[in-house]
């Protein structure tokens, strides 16, 4: 049995066609049900659909053999006990610093609102900038507008969300896309089965 952990939402929509091309299908009744472990067209493959941030946790502990999640999530998680096997090239965006204007970044101690605490710390540490992190779980764009922070570190796709809130993208931290990950120990014990799937997905990218 092989268990694959998929990220809910925007990543899932773009993942299903890739899996289908590799021969793995999940019926709409399964996807629309409240079940957490979904059957697939293959007897020896099950799928779990969970939050993107939980995918590396399930895979790291071997509760899922493989998973698909964003690079942003992997950078925060640290990817211990995992191998990143493929860049799927889906759910592409950029991790960026944004503020009301560029002058706002000129601070002795820059206050940053973000849920990407580790990535933000790493980036500003490299620049030698002293920072204070304000951890938020959503609606980061609000923080500079209400004076909670000087800037934010967040994902930017079209830039529309920033624009709608009077913010501009200023500094590029990372290019983000979804990745196929595998539990490092299971990669050895289930190597043949996992490699077959990796090849099947890779061929259709």
Q: What is the CA radius of gyration of the chain?
A: 19
- Nearer to ligand AMP by Cβ, of 126 and 158: the residue is 158
Draw the binding track, 3-22, toward ligand AMP (x: CB under 6 A; -: no contact). -------x------------
Q: Does 158 bind ligand AMP (CB under 6 A)?
A: yes
Residue span binding ligand AMP (CB under 6 A) among the ranges 15-23, 26-34, 60-68, 149-157:
149-157
Q: Does 159 bind ligand AMP (CB under 6 A)?
A: yes
Query: What is the spatial distance between Cα 143 and Cα 132, in angstroms, rounded to a whole number?
Result: 13
DSSP lists the bridge partners of residue 2 as: 45
Draw the binding track, 87-126, toward ligand AMP (x: CB under 6 A; -: no contact). ----x-x---------------------------------
- Identified binder of ligand AMP from the candidate list 103, 126, 160, 203, rule CB under 6 A: 160
- Nearer to ligand AMP by Cβ, of 8 and 35: the residue is 8
**Buried b / exposed e across 65-85, counting CB within 10 Å, b at 16+?**
bbbbbbbbbbbbbebebbbeb
φ, ψ for residue 45, nearest 5 deg: -130, 125
- Identified binder of ligand AMP from the candidate list 13, 29, 157, 175, rule CB under 6 A: 157
Q: Does 53 bind ligand AMP (CB under 6 A)?
A: no
DSSP 8-state code for residue 165: T
Q: Does 156 bind ligand AMP (CB under 6 A)?
A: yes
Q: Does 155 bind ligand AMP (CB under 6 A)?
A: yes
Judge contact between 55 and 72, C-beta under 8 A: no
- Token pair in block for residue 52: 């993107």
If DSSP codes are grouped into helix, strand and coil, which group holds residue 116?
A: coil
Q: Does 169 bind ligand AMP (CB under 6 A)?
A: no
- Nearer to ligand AMP by Cβ, of 68 and 85: the residue is 68
Nearest CA to 82 out of 66, 71, 95 is that of 66
Judge contact between 201 and 180, C-beta under 8 A: yes
Q: Are strands 45-50 and 2-7 parallel, antiparallel or unpaired?
A: parallel
The footprint of ligand AMP (CB under 6 A) covers 10, 70, 91, 93, 154-161
């Amino acid at each position: 049995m092989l268990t694959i952990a998929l990220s809910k939402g925007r990543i899932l929509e773009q993942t299903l066609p890739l899996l289908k091309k590799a021969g793995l299908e999940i019926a709409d009744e399964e996807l629309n049900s409240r079940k957490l472990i979904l059957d697939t067209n293959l007897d020896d493959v099950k799928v779990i659909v969970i939050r993107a941030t939980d995918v590396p946790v399930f895979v790291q502990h071997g509760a899922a053999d493989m998973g698909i999640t964003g690079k942003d999530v992997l950078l925060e998680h640290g990817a211990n006990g995992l191998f990143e096997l493929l860049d799927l090239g889906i759910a592409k965006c950029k991790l960026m610093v944004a503020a009301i204007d560029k002058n706002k970044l000129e601070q002795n101690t820059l206050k940053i609102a973000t849920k990407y605490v580790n990535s933000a710390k790493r980036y500003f540490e490299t620049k030698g900038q002293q920072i204070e992190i304000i951890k938020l779980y959503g609606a980061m764009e609000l923080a500079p507008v209400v004076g909670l922070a000087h800037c934010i570190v967040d994902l930017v796709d079209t830039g529309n969300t920033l624009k709608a809130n009077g913010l501009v993208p200023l500094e590029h931290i990372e290019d983000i896309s979804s990745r196929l990950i595998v539990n490092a120990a299971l990669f050895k014990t289930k190597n043949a089965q996992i490699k077959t799937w990796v090849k099947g997905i890779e061929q259709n990218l």
